[in-house]
Amino acid sequence: MNILNKKFTTNYNTAPFSQIKDDHFLPAFKLAIKEAKKEIDAITNNNEFPTFKNTIEALEYSGEQLDRISSIFFNLNSAETNETIQKIAQEVSPLLSEFGNDITLNQKLFQRVKEVYNSKEDLNLSIEQTTLLDKKYKSFSRNGANLPEDKKQILRDIDKQLSTLKLKFGENVLAETNKFELLITDKDDLKGLPEGAIEAAKQLAESKDKDGWMITLDYPSYIPFMTYADNRELRKKLSIAFGSKAFKNDTLDNQDIVLQIAKLRHERANLLGYKTHADFVLEERMAETPQKVNRFLNDLLDKAKPAAEREFANLQNFAKDLDGIEKLQKWDSAYYSEKLKQKLFSLDDEQLKPYFKLENVINGAFTIAQKLFGLQFEEIDSIDKYHEDVLTYKVTNENGDLVSIFYADFFPRAGKRNGAWMTSYKPQFIKNDKMERPHVSIVCNFTKPTKSKPSLLTFNEVTTLFHEFGHALHGMLANTTYPSLSGTSVYWDFVELPSQVMENWCYEKEALELFATHYQTGEVIPMDLIQKIKESATFHEGMQTLRQISFGILDMSWHAQDPSHISHVKSHEKEAFKNTALYPDVEKNCMSTAFAHIFQGGYSSGYYSYKWAEVLDADAFEYFKKEGIFNKTVASKFKDNVLSKGGTENPMTLYKRFRGQEPKPEALLKRAGLIK
C-alpha cells in the first residue's frame, strides 16, 4: 500500500517526506477520498437516532487521513513545488471540491445534523461542543444544503471551476516570478547596493552559469535593489516587471481568471441567498458586514490620509532637493524613503543587519516564547524534512511534555512562492481520550548566507519572522478537543492578533538585548540604535497605513458588489485606488492579477483584517507594556484565553476575558503617530 495511506510509523508521527514520491499523491488522494466517503456513508446510514456523538463528533473526526495527505501535498505545492506537483494539484483540486460538495449537499446527512441542531437546547453541551455544532450546521446551510437539487448541481459546478481557477492563478504568478531575470554586467549599475546584496547577486548569477550579477523578483533580491540601487532606469525596469506579473496578455495572464473568480464567487453567494460574496464571507467574521468593513476602512482613511499626504510631500521635496526629481514614481518610493530615513534617524538597514544574524533571531524568538509561555525548543535531526534547508525542532513545556513539532524554512528557491506564511502538517486535537500534538511550520524568503557572510536579516525581515512565529505559537499552544476548532482555526479577522502582537517585542530594549548581538564581535545592539529603531518605527506610518487600506478597499471592490459590470481589470482597479493613490499610475502594472492573498489564498473579503487585528494587537500590547513585557500573569492570560482556545468561542468573548475590556483603536492610532 502507498506510504501516504498507511498510519505513519515515524518519530512523533511526522510526515515521512523522504519516502514520499510525487507519483504517490494522486492514487493516495483517490484512495483516501474513497475511505472518507465510507466513513460519511456510515454516519449517514446509521439507523440509530442522531446524537451529538454519532453524528457531529463522527463527522468531525472523519477523513483524518485525507486531511493529512492534503496538508502535506498543498504545503509542498507552496514551498517545494514542481511541474508534476502542479499538474497533480490541477487534477486533485476538483476531486476535493467535489468530495466537499458530496458532504455538504448530502440531504440525508444534513437531516441528521439538523435534528441534533434543533434539539441543542436539551443536550447539555459544553461551550466547545456548542460551537462545533453551530459550525457543522452552518457548513451545510452556508454551502447549499437547503437548495433544491438543480441549484445544488450549479453550486457543484461553480466550486469545481473556482478550485481550478485559483490554482491556475497561483501557478501563473509563480511562473512569472521565476521567469524574470535581470543580468547586470556593468559594475557601475550596482552603485548604492550594499556589499551583501552584491555578493548574493553574484552567487545567484554563478548558480545559473552566468557572468555578472543577477537580480530576480524574489524579495531578498528585489527589495535591496529597489531600496539602494542608484540606477533609476534599472529600478524602473525591475518595478514594472514586479508590478506587471500576470498582466501581459500572454499565456501567463491572469486578467480573465480574476474576472471569472470574482463573477463565480458573486454567483455562488447569490445562489446561497447572499447579496454579495463579502456578505457571505463576513457573516462568519468579527466585522459581520461589508458596511462595517467599509466604515472601518474609511474611518482609518480619514485619519491616515492627511499624514500620508504630508509624508509624501516631504519625500517629494527631499528627492527634488537631493537629485532634482520633479515627479516621484513608484520605483523611487523605497529608494528615497530609505535615504530620508537615514538622514532623519541616521539609521539604515545595513547598520542594523550585522546585529540580526538569522540563527540569533530564531533563538531570540525561542527565548521570548520561553519567558512568556515556558516553552523549550530543541533542534532535532531525527525527523524527515522536505528540503535540506528546513530546520526541525521539538517543542516541550516546563514539565518536558511534547507541545509541538516545529519546521522552519527560511530561504527562497525556484519551487517556493514569494512571501511568508505559517501552516500546519497536523492539527492538535483529542480523540478517544488521546491528546494529539500539532506539527507546525513557518515558511519565509530571507537572504541566504553567502560565502563570506551568514544570513543577516533586515529589520523588516526580523518583524516578519516574529509575525509568522506568532501564528506558529497559536498553532503550537492549541488545547482543544476538536481539530476544526484548534489553533489558527479562528475567525479570519482574529487570526492576525497572535502574529501581530509578537512583532511588538522586536521594538523593546529588554527583548532586543536577548538576541540582537553583532555576528562578528558578539556586542549587544547599542542603546542608541534601539532608540533609533523605536523612533523610526512610525516613519511613513501614514503612507504605510494608506497602502494597507488601499489593498482592503481593492479587495472589497471585487467582492462587496456585483462584479458582472466589470470588464476591464485595470480600469476597475484604478477606480478602487483613486482615493488612496499617492504615486502616478503605471499603465503596464496591475496589482489584482498577482494579488494572491485574495484570488488564491483565503483573504477574499478579508484583507481588512490585517488592520482590524492591528487595533487588537496595539490594545493587547498596551496591557503587556503596563504590566511588564515579560509579565507572567498577562502572558498566561493571553495563552489561556487566546492562544490555546482556537475557535472554540466567539473571539470578542475571548479577547475581553484576556483584556478585561473591548479593544480601543486609540492605542493603534497613538502607536502609529496618527494621534498624539
**Structure confidence by residue, pLDDT tens digits, 607-622:** 999 999 999 999 999 9
In the chain, the percentage of residues whose pLDDT exceeds 90 is 95
Question: Residue 348: its pLDDT value, please?
Answer: 83
Does residue 672 have a pLDDT over 90? no
468 is catalytic: yes
Question: Residue 55: its pLDDT value, please?
Answer: 98
Per-residue CA distances from 309 to 13, 303, 342, 544 (Å):
54, 11, 20, 11
Would you list the domain boundaries of the chain? 3-146, 180-243, 255-353+541-604, 354-522
Q: What are phi and psi of 468, to 5 degrees?
A: -65, -35
CATH level 3 topology of 3-146: Glutathione S-transferase Yfyf (Class Pi); Chain A, domain 2 (1.20.1050)
Per-residue CA distances from 584 to 159, 161, 189, 246, 610 (Å):
38, 36, 25, 21, 26
Given the residues 468, 496, 573, 614, select the one marked as catalytic.
468
**Could you tell me if 568 and 562 are in contact, meaning their C-beta atoms sit under 8 angstroms apart?**
no
Question: Residue 673: its pLDDT value, please?
Answer: 84
pLDDT digits (tens, 9 = 90+) for 15-36: 999 999 999 999 999 999 999 9
pLDDT digits (tens, 9 = 90+) for 443-501: 999 989 999 999 999 999 999 999 999 999 999 999 999 999 999 999 989 999 999 99
DSSP string, 460-526: HHHHHHHHHHHHHHHHHT---S-GGGSTT-S-TTTTHHHHHHHHGGGG-HHHHHHH-B-TTT-PBPP
Hey, what CATH class is 354-522 in?
mainly alpha
CATH level 3 topology of 255-353+541-604: Neurolysin; domain 3 (1.10.1370)
Per-residue CA distances from 144 to 151, 244, 463, 526, 604 (Å):
8, 37, 41, 60, 20
**Could you tell me if 303 and 542 are in contact, meaning their C-beta atoms sit under 8 angstroms apart?**
no
CA angle 232, 540, 613 (to 5 degrees): 125
Per-residue CA distances from 607 to 109, 113, 413, 550, 658 (Å):
34, 32, 27, 10, 25
Task: Give the pLDDT band of residue 601 (cuts 50, 70, 90).
Answer: confident
Question: Residue 285: its pLDDT value, please?
Answer: 94
Distance separating alpha carbons of residues 15 and 10, to the nearest angstrom? 7
CATH topology of 255-353+541-604 equal to that of 354-522? Answer: yes
Q: How far is CA 53 from the centre of its chain?
A: 34
Distance separating alpha carbons of residues 447 and 437, to the nearest angstrom? 32
3-state SS assignment for residue 441: strand
Bridge partner residues of 395 (DSSP): 377, 404
Helix (H), strand (E), coil (C) string for 171-201: HHHHHHHHHCCEEECCHHHHCCCCHHHHHHH
Distance separating alpha carbons of residues 352 and 355, to the nearest angstrom? 6
Does residue 675 have a pLDDT over 90? no
> Which residue would you say has higher pLDDT here, 674 or 27?
27
Does residue 676 have a pLDDT over 80? no
Cell of 669: 492610532
Mean pLDDT, all residues of the chain: 96
Question: Residue 666: its pLDDT value, please?
Answer: 85
Contacts made by residues 641-645, CB under 8 angstroms, sequence distance 24+ = 642/474, 642/497, 642/498, 643/373, 643/473, 643/474, 643/477, 643/478, 643/498, 644/477, 644/478, 644/479, 644/480, 645/479, 645/480
Buried residues in 325-363 as b, exposed as e (16+ CB within 10 A):
beebebbbbbbbbbbbbeeebebbbbebbbbbbbebbbe
